[in-house]
Chain A
Amino acid sequence: MANGKTKLAVIAGVALASSLVAAAFAATQGTPGATSTGSADVRAEKESAVSITGLNDIVFAASATTPAPLADPVCVFSNPGSYTVNVSSANAAGGTYRLSSGSGFINYSVSWFNAGSGGATVALTSGTASPSITGADQTSPTCGGGDTARIQVTIDPATYISAPAATYTDTLTIIVSPT
């Protein structure tokens, strides 16, 4: 019977997308006359910005049987309003998320919800960006103190049961990009 504690340390990454406005010399100068007219372009580029905050470690209780899924509500700010998320596992095997004890592995899955509670779910693959997700806070990088998404981790029963008792850990790196 496997008996272990599983701990997930989560590191959040923030991707900022920006592009430089090409400086074009479009200004025109006036010529002498009874009136004189010149013109200048005025340009501003509002940056696309995202951030993810409110992340916590996901720590499963020691259990001989497969623990129930755990979720962590987070705040995703994206001023375009939508975003993609790329959650990668430090111990991934291909696109599979894995916890490692150093000598053995337990597989797990990661799902993303576009709300702090409820919402639509997207099943993620390690190292692969999700489809565009809506529901981010467009104006407040702190989501006004609330949450706009949550990440859920589900332990794979098969690999959990067969794994020797030990402590299994992984680090999830989360990259959010505006869309």
Chain B
Amino acid sequence: MLATAMAALVALPSAPAMAAKEVVVKGFGNRLAFGRYAWLDTAVSMTDTFCIAGTAPAMLVSFDGHRAGGGFALEDGGGGTMRYRVHFAPAQGGFREVRPGEPVSMAPGAESCSADNVSVRVEIMPDDFNGAASGLYADTLTVIVSTP
């Protein structure tokens, strides 16, 4: 992983910086570990902030992961799934639930990441959790930021 990230940086073209479109995503790599539960009476969620910045006036932000029933799903490795929900709060605006691949337009408001400016909240609903078989469920949630 380290090698991949370094390679990306090394591969930067030498075009004038002011004229290039830049996209910066910083601080999205932390694991969202919910811990252990047997039963949920209410939804559990984890919220984290990260940074999206760039020189373009507008960007499209979308999330992807394992999909089930039109939504995000955790997997247990044995064919079992557990739906979860992703809410995204862009730099300007409140949280809204997003579907896999659904783009959200936002103005980054900054060309570099000096501070977190967006939030993501992952939520698991009781009905989705309680009906699942016991086991470890996981997914890789990917954020995709692009300029138009």
Is A24 close to B, CB under 8 A? no
B39 neighbours in A (Cβ, 8 Å):
31-34
Main secondary structure of the interface of B (DSSP, over half): loop
Is B7 close to A, CB under 8 A? no
Alpha-carbon gap, A34 to B39, bound state (A): 7
- Taking the closest CB of chain B, its distance from the CB of A23, in whole angstroms, is 30
Q: Of B38, B41, B130, which is within 8 A of A34 by CB?
A: B38
Q: Enumerate chain B interface residues (CB-CB to A < 8 A).
A: 36, 38-39, 41, 130
A33 neighbours in B (Cβ, 8 Å):
38-39
With A33-B39, A34-B36 already in contact, 6 other A-B pairs whose C-beta atoms are closer than 8 Å = A32-B38, A32-B41, A32-B130, A33-B38, A34-B38, A34-B39
B38 neighbours in A (Cβ, 8 Å):
32-34
A31 neighbours in B (Cβ, 8 Å):
39, 41
- Taking the closest CB of chain A, its distance from the CB of B30, in whole angstroms, is 26
In this complex, what residue of B is CB-closest to A32? Answer: B39
- Contact flags (1/0) for A29-62 with B, using CB distance below 8 Å? 0011110000000000000000000000000000
In this complex, what residue of B is CB-closest to A34? Answer: B38
Alpha-carbon gap, A7 to B127, bound state (A): 86
- Taking the closest CB of chain A, its distance from the CB of B4, in whole angstroms, is 40
Alpha-carbon gap, A31 to B41, bound state (A): 9
B41 neighbours in A (Cβ, 8 Å):
31-32
